[in-house]
């Protein structure tokens, strides 16, 4: 019976994506600090959709074309020139974002999302929608690749910790023979005695973003299940899976 379970694997960096077969798989794009956290928050608070784009100019252009849209994105911890808003999940309350299209430019998460070409389904994951993602993956009963967006292709703790949290919760439903998945699971088991954020304070990304005054953002991003939706890619748009 075990052999019939779908496969679950973890890809630790976009630079390793070519090693995995994503055809027919459900791919979870993970960019905890902060793209996929912001996506969960905006969609849970009623945004019509989120359109992830690779660069600032494309973001500006789409913002001009799409009625009732918001352009957002940061570079070096500040709202990028020409855009309206930043990349903080707490910046998108319902009163502001409801029924709007959020055109969001991020570097690592968007790049990975666009690299995956032949998946059955692409969703985004973060601690803010951890349980929703896990339930979705169990329901789908298809091969899963948890794709960490990393930082400029470098392994990072926060995305891997989230992958480990998913592995830990759904591993009985999948066949796992992937050392990255095992390591992510061990990392999660090691961390869970503390809260996620206490663990992540000793990470490269936390140090970089806290230097920009964004510690609160990261505490927000590390809170499980604040925004229990499954953002799913349809064409170029991420919408709430229903």
Q: Which residues bind a copy of itself (CB under 8 A)?
A: 12-13, 15-16, 19, 151-157, 160, 177-180, 182-183, 186-187, 189-191, 202-205, 207
The least CB distance from residue 63 to a copy of itself, in Å, is 33
The least CB distance from residue 169 to a copy of itself, in Å, is 18
The least CB distance from residue 179 to a copy of itself, in Å, is 5
> Which residue has tokens 């979870």?
28
CB contact at 8 A, 5 and 175: yes
Cα dihedral across residues 109, 110, 113, 117: positive or negative: negative
Q: Identify which of residues 77 and 228 has a Cβ nearer to a copy of itself in the complex.
A: 77
Q: Report d(CA 166, CA 236) in Å as an integer.
A: 25
Q: Identify which of residues 58 and 153 has a Cβ nearer to a copy of itself in the complex.
A: 153
The least CB distance from residue 185 to a copy of itself, in Å, is 10
Q: Identify which of residues 154 and 236 has a Cβ nearer to a copy of itself in the complex.
A: 154
Q: Report d(CA 144, CA 167) in Å as an integer.
A: 10
- Torsions phi, psi of 49, nearest 5? -165, 165
Q: Identify which of residues 19 and 64 has a Cβ nearer to a copy of itself in the complex.
A: 19
Q: Which DSSP state fits 93?
A: -
């Amino acid at each position: 019976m075990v052999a019939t379970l779908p496969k679950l694997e973890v890809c630790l960096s976009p630079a390793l994506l070519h090693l995995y077969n994503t055809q027919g798989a459900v791919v979870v794009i993970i960019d905890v600090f902060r793209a996929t956290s912001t996506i969960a928050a905006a969609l849970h608070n009623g945004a019509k959709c989120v359109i992830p784009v690779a660069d600032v100019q494309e973001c500006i252009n789409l913002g001009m074309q799409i009625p009732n849209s918001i352009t957002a994105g940061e570079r070096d911890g500040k709202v990028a020139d020409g855009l309206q808003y930043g990349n903080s999940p707490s910046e998108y309350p319902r009163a502001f974002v409801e029924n709007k299209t959020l055109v969001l430019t991020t570097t690592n998460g968007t790049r990975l999302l666009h690299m995956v070409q032949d998946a059955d389904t692409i969703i985004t994951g973060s601690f803010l929608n951890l349980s929703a993602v896990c339930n979705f993956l169990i329901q789908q009963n298809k091969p899963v690749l948890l794709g960490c967006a990393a930082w400029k292709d470098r392994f990072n703790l926060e995305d891997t910790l989230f992958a480990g949290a998913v592995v830990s919760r759904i591993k009985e439903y999948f066949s796992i023979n992937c050392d990255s998945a095992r390591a992510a699971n061990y990392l999660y088991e090691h961390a869970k005695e503390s809260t996620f954020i206490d663990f992540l304070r000793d990470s490269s990304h936390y140090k970089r973003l806290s230097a920009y005054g964004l510690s609160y953002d990261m505490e927000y991003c590390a809170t499980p299940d604040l925004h229990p939706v499954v953002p799913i890619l349809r064409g170029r748009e991420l919408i709430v899976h229903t």
